[in-house]
Structure 1
Amino acid sequence: MTQQLLQQLVEMRGIETQYVDAWGNPATIAESSKAKLLNALGYDTSSDEKIQSQIAQDVQSVWLSPLNPVQVVRRGEDITLSVRLPIELVNDEHVLTVTLESGEVLTHAFTPVDESMTTMAHIDDVEFHEYVVALPLDLPLGYHDVALSADGDQIATSRIIMAPQACFTPDPIKQGKKIWGLSVQLYCVRSENNWGIGDFSDLAQLIEKSASVGADFIGLNPIHALYPANPNACSPYGPSSRRWLNYLYIDVTAVEGYDDASVQALVSSDDFNKTLAHARNVEHVDYEAVAHLKLAALRAVFDVYDAKYLTKSTKQNKAFKAFVEAGGESLDMLAVYDALQSSLKAQGKESWGWPVFPEEFKDYHNPAVAKFKKANEQDVKFYLFLQWIAAQQLEQASNKATEAGMTIGLYRDLAVGVSEGSAEIWGNKDLYCTDASVGAPPDILGPLGQNWGLPPMDPRKLYEQAYQPIIDLFASNMASSGSLRIDHVMALLRLWWVVKGDDAKEGGYIYYPVDDLLGILALESHRNQSLVIGEDLGTVPEEIRSKLADNGVYSYRVFFFEQAEDGGFFSPSHYPVQSMSTLTTHDMPTLIGYWHCLDLELGKEIGLYPTQEILDTLYTDRHDNKQSILDTLHGHGSVGDNVGRDVNYVGMNQDLNYGMQVHMAGGSSALLSLQLEDWLQMDKPVNIPGTFDEYPNWRRKLTQNIETMFENAQINELAAKLTHARKQASNK
């Protein structure tokens, strides 16, 4: 009986028991994994009685809710609502009141028994009926509140989200324009003025210089808020909050108040300048040093700015207060978290994240947290100020792209989750399943599978919260940009959950309401005029690719993964037009690293490959792939005879490097993204998936300042060739 009951619960909660792996083979998750995943979702699977009781509770909770929490409807579709009522109410007149975002109120009266009944159930000896009620109203795009009432009494509330059919695409791209741009990890950027980490002023400069040589966008890795009190937790894909920004990207020298004598006394001191020189000159970003510098200087600037503007009736104070009010609980939560974590660290207490905070501080909603906030009001205000300044500087950089006439401008990157100790989870514990982590089953990039240490959202809780957390994520990450790249876009359909303590390969897929999420994505895309790119690499079911395409989401095509069964590489001219193509990603080696197998050498050194046999196979495959690449490049005339045809005698050089980039530019993808690392012919990767301390991930800087990079005649010549190739591709 237990297995049957477990399977019933597995199906109710959207756990997928069978899937097709990255190599096209059928795979099944273990029976033990089913129970563990249900445990992570909060179920007790220790006996038949307990499982039956929980199934009954789940069913009962649905029937006792007259309306669903939320419904996503596409423009042009009929609006129908499921209404569940006890039998004694089905002959009474009911009213659905819809309050539009604009404030306009619309009503529709109906008698349930006159509508179409779909099913019935008995709950505690009461007979309930479910009806499908047609709502004959023409609702505009947006978020609308619904209330169900009878005899003047409100019975239930819900939300209708009216969404467009597909995501936004800029007119030039709709009309066939093919563009190119650069992808960059902002922290990697060197410049003459930054403090050992790239900042928003560097970004503005990079935009201007890139636009001047033909680029139509700059793509950023996530710039989400990390941990001011724990700067070495630096992965952009393991943030504290995905709604807010990493304050380390603030250019302190550009904030009003920096020129004040008190600030200048600090930044002119010998100790400060010694640390600053170190932060600028080291090969890898020293997050501890950068945070030490920026927090001290920003605190000094804040004290000046606060006294001058934020304690008086000034336009600056009004703008600041409006920002804080718009940020709501989410912004307050982050600022309080940052102040609390900093305070605990200063006291010498364990503080890496809320799981190790003192018990009374483990939840944002606890009374002790409110008391702390009141007692540390100025510290909290400081962290609110950092977010305000960061948002302003990002917007200023984005405006440079608009002024330069870039077709897209900035594109931002939305991480798939937040780390376990994050502020985002601290403030919404119900939404996240902290006994599990997001990851990936074994695939080409990670033969052992991957565990990313990011607790997943519970899809049912997300639904019960009327999708507000995901709405906020999409909206905030489309701000000050022309495009959004969604990391691991399959998360809209399903996520690979790994239960705490298990190996990644022992996980299983849990499904999410993909059509609803895509509808919300389309709505926010239009509201923010933001093109959407979905990173659809790894184990991707074919149905999600076609569904994403139908919803206007651009596919992400990486040259090295676009191979035919015979091992040959597809010509970029055969890529979908509705895609962004690239040669490499932040999780892959640079072109030099790939060609010289430096990634395989590194992987061996740090123990990524469980057997020599696996490594030998990877070397053999790499050798064959490189020969296929040479065949492809010569076959399409993308390189000249100065690049040899036999892989045994061809090393990576500038002609081959640039030839591969121009080869991609002639392709059919609407967007082409290239890595600055490959422009600079760098050999070390920025990240090695599956590693933690074994390699300095997310720290490696670029080898040149952006001021000198664009003075390089060869780089400018490459940019001109890319622009020419893109124009030719547009005319095909």
Structure 2
Amino acid sequence: MDPKVLDRAAERAGIIPEYIDAWGQRKIISRETKRQLMAAMAGLIDDPDQAAPVPPVWVVRTGQAAPLPVTLAAPGDWTLTEESGLRHQGKTVNHAVTLPAALPPGYHRLTLHAGERHWSCQVIVAPPRCYEPPALLAGDRLWGACVQLYTLRSRHNWGIGDFGDLALMIEGTARHGGAFVGLNPIHALYPSAPGWASPYSPSSRRWLNILYIDVGALEDFRQSRAAQEWWASPQTQQKLAALRDDALVDYPQVAECKLAALTYAYDQFCTRGADEPERREFADFISYGGESLRHQATFDALHRYLTREGHPSAGWRQWPPEYQRADSAAVREFCQRHDNEILFFSYLQWQAARQFDACFRLSRRLDMPIGLYRDLAVGVSEGGMETWSDRTLYCLAASVGAPPDKLGPQGQNWCLPPQDPNVLTARAYEPFIEMLRANMRHCGALRIDHVMSLLRLWWIPREHTARDGAYVNYPVDDLLAVLALESHRQQCMIIGEDLGTVPREITGKLQAAGVYSYKVLLFERTDGGHFRPPDEYMAQAMATLTTHDLATLRGFWQQEDLRLGRELKIYPSQEVYRHLLDDRRQARQALLAALHAWKCVPAKMSANADRVMMSPLLNRGLHRYVARSSSALLGLQPEDWLDMALPVNVPGTTDQYPNWRRKVTREVAEMFDDPAVMRLLKEVDRLRKSAISHTGKTPVR
């Protein structure tokens, strides 16, 4: 291909030809990278010479009267059908369709006619901002707990936190004044490869992780005589006790126990009469889930079948070739022969959805202003259900990550295949809409991981390093509009994880669209190295002390995360380790100075950070500091209430550290009855409910 033709085609495809790196240097994308990324795309890139006279989708905000351009040589007729069925008609004028200004928010259909030919365009009308709960619009400052669900302990779970534990977490948080419980991504993983446990590398973002089912709460499990005999046996009880007592989640053993028990429950369900309410509810669930649920259940059933037949794998890319496409003859034959197995996995999704819905309804009964807050992963695994069932949308010859920067000089490759923005547009954003609906269901807030993906993603050609990638544009204005529309329809507010390098182009767009920012205490420092005062925190934001990818408070203060990194050989040299230690000493000193300035710690506490060890007083002071922030939301981790040191995840590691496995040290019920935790949460609640300004500091009691 002629180099100039390639450059023009790459730009139409959304490949950004250059960018400014973390060192302020201008980087030009090579034509070889452009060629490889173009090859990875699905070929739906607009050719200006062959484009339809109307785009596949047109997005406007309510009240706008922006004309829709058309490229017909002569005037044509158009018909606009609203979602309600109301119709509008007219003729194109000056190569444009002037849409009615009073169109309601929603998804409408425009049809353009010219002689015997006609073309369709999805017209999406969206409100200007995302939904915000009444409490936030009234100026309330809310707080809640942010948990990794699998880390929770209780007397009744089976070695992994479950939806029963989530109910306990909701009750405890609400009892102490909390407005929400935030969760790690609870997307579907791999029941037949449970060791692949990262919640940020799911099989599907539309369905749930069935290991979170509270098996003991299922009526079908309790009514099954075979299930109760199995459960009451000494061997089962010993195994469950061991799993419960383990400091880490043993995913393979948990999955073995739960799938055995759930099989008994499903067998019992199959004995129900056709007219029983549960039977009808399950049929409605299958109908509502449609093709996506059928694909998820088929994928999980086929994965288990192949594993039992001697083909264990982390996903479909290692399956026999005849099963690697969801629409293959071999898969259709499998569906006919294993229909009951597919229904079993549909049943598991139904039970997971029922229990999660019950948790959300519990939060509503307890008058929590937000209730549950979910986390949407930035992508899906290359071997999961979504890529298996939708080969056109996902570009499997590329993956997303990050370019080299000061923290990662080699860049990052997350091994998540990107969605083709050209296919998204051609489908009128239907995959994005369906994903949002699935994740906004049964919750009051949705956190979007790496929210910059709405604007651009760093694509890396397969078998290349992150250095050889390029940014690819996404239709940010349209996606934000869809986000706002679905947010209002589901009454679900939006939080955007905007840590790291945030392009200027998106910051203002996110704020204007009502997307709440994400502010982490450990990163909130001024150019001079001082920690940002609480009254200068952004109001349209959620503040946190730390995150699942960072050290706990104890780990940070005692530098245990750095020592752990050295043990795991994460740092390339001793010099880098010493540099990090020096940075940490400066950060601790600046943070302690901020705590003293805001009277969050007693005046008698030393002002020299090297002389201050982590203690209940220091822990309480750090919580006081962020509780005073101007941010509308505050998310706290139970690990920090319990003064835990080990992180849940160490970025840059795979097998060196038990990522996504470490549990909390106390049972949920014990934690909320602990006098120290109760005192801490009572003070956080008081500070969030009082309008404290810099001039109204309160002394430490």
TM-score range, shorter chain: over 0.9
Q: Which amino acid aligns with 2:239?
A: T
CA distance in 2: counterparts of 1:681 and 1:446, whole angstroms? 29
Contact kept? 1:353, 1:421, Cα under 8 Å: yes
Q: Which runs of 5+ in 1 are unaligned?
A: 44-53, 117-130
Give the secondary-structure state (helix, strand or coil) at the position aligned to 2:368.
Answer: coil
Deviations 1:253-272 (A, max 9, x none): 11112222111112122332
1:139 alignment counterpart? 103
Question: Which of residues 568, 591, 595 in structure 2 aligns to 1:606?
Answer: 568
Q: Which amino acid aligns with 2:37?
A: L
Shift of 1:42: 5.5
Shift of 1:575: 1.1
Deviations 1:119-170 (A, max 9, x none): xxxxxxxxxxxx222123632111122222345x551122111110000111
1:8 alignment counterpart? 8
Question: Which of residues 437, 443, 447 in structure 2 aligns to 1:485?
Answer: 447
Question: Which of residues 125, 144, 148 in structure 2 aligns to 1:162?
Answer: 125
CA distance in 1: counterparts of 2:153 and 2:496, whole angstroms? 29
Matched residue count: 693
Deviations 1:186-209 (A, max 9, x none): 000001110000111110111011
1:564 alignment counterpart? 526
Contact kept? 2:42, 2:393, Cα under 8 Å: no
CA distance in 1: counterparts of 2:263 and 2:568, whole angstroms? 40
Shift of 1:686: 0.5
1:206 counterpart = 2:188: no
CA distance in 2: counterparts of 1:34 and 1:643, whole angstroms? 58
1:81 alignment counterpart? 68
Matches within 5 A, 1:66-465: 66-85=53-72, 87=73, 90-91=74-75, 94-102=76-84, 104-110=85-91, 112=92, 115-116=93-94, 131-136=95-100, 138-151=102-115, 153=116, 155-259=118-222, 260-309=224-273, 312-443=274-405, 446-465=408-427
Query: Given the superposition, is the C-alpha separation of residues 378 and 551 from structure 1 closer, same or farther in structure 2, using an over 3 Å criterion?
Result: same
Deviations 1:632-689 (A, max 9, x none): 1101111113532102211222211121011100010000011111011100010111
2:47 alignment counterpart? 58
Give the secondary-structure state (helix, strand or coil) at the position aligned to 1:308.
Answer: coil
Out of 722-731 and 515-524, give the one that drifted further. 722-731
Shift of 1:7: 2.3
CA distance in 2: counterparts of 1:220 and 1:660, whole angstroms? 22
Question: Which of residues 665, 679, 687 in structure 1 aligns to 2:627?
Answer: 665
Contact kept? 2:399, 2:415, Cα under 8 Å: yes
Question: Which of residues 526, 531, 539 in structure 1 aligns to 2:488?
Answer: 526
Q: Which amino acid aligns with 2:429?
A: Y
Shift of 1:564: 1.0
Q: Which amino acid aligns with 1:585?
A: T
Out of 254-263 and 199-208, give the one that drifted further. 254-263
Shift of 1:69: 1.1
Shift of 1:250: 0.5
Shift of 1:331: 0.8
Give the secondary-structure state (helix, strand or coil) at the position aligned to 1:648.
Answer: helix
With normalisation by structure 2, the TM-score equals 0.96
With normalisation by structure 1, the TM-score equals 0.92
Shift of 1:24: 5.5
Out of 566-575 and 180-189, give the one that drifted further. 566-575
2:699 alignment counterpart? none
Contact kept? 1:21, 1:539, Cα under 8 Å: no
Identity of aligned residues (%): 45
Shift of 1:613: 2.7
Question: Which of residues 491, 499, 502 in structure 2 aligns to 1:540?
Answer: 502
CA distance in 2: counterparts of 1:657 and 1:15, whole angstroms? 46
1:595 counterpart = 2:557: yes
CA distance in 2: counterparts of 1:25 and 1:475, whole angstroms? 40
CA distance in 2: counterparts of 1:601 and 1:36, whole angstroms? 41
Q: Which amino acid aligns with 1:75?
A: T
1:704 alignment counterpart? 666
Shift of 1:710: 1.0
CA distance in 1: counterparts of 2:50 and 2:333, whole angstroms? 35
Shift of 1:376: 0.6
Q: Which runs of 5+ in 2 are unaligned?
A: 697-701
CA distance in 2: counterparts of 1:608 and 1:730, whole angstroms? 42
Contact kept? 1:444, 1:538, Cα under 8 Å: no
1:126 alignment counterpart? none
CA distance in 2: counterparts of 1:628 and 1:476, whole angstroms? 43
Contact kept? 1:229, 1:342, Cα under 8 Å: yes
Shift of 1:32: 4.1
Shift of 1:60: 3.5
Give the secondary-structure state (helix, strand or coil) at the position aligned to 1:15.
Answer: coil
2:40 alignment counterpart? 40
Query: Given the superposition, is the C-alpha separation of residues 713 and 520 from structure 1 closer, same or farther in structure 2, using an over 3 Å criterion?
Result: same
CA distance in 1: counterparts of 2:410 and 2:605, whole angstroms? 36
1:640 counterpart = 2:621: no
CA distance in 2: counterparts of 1:205 and 1:459, whole angstroms? 41
CA distance in 1: counterparts of 2:329 and 2:10, whole angstroms? 37
Out of 433-442 and 572-581, give the one that drifted further. 433-442
CA distance in 1: counterparts of 2:333 and 2:206, whole angstroms? 25
Query: Given the superposition, is the C-alpha separation of residues 482 and 346 from structure 1 closer, same or farther in structure 2, using an over 3 Å criterion?
Result: same
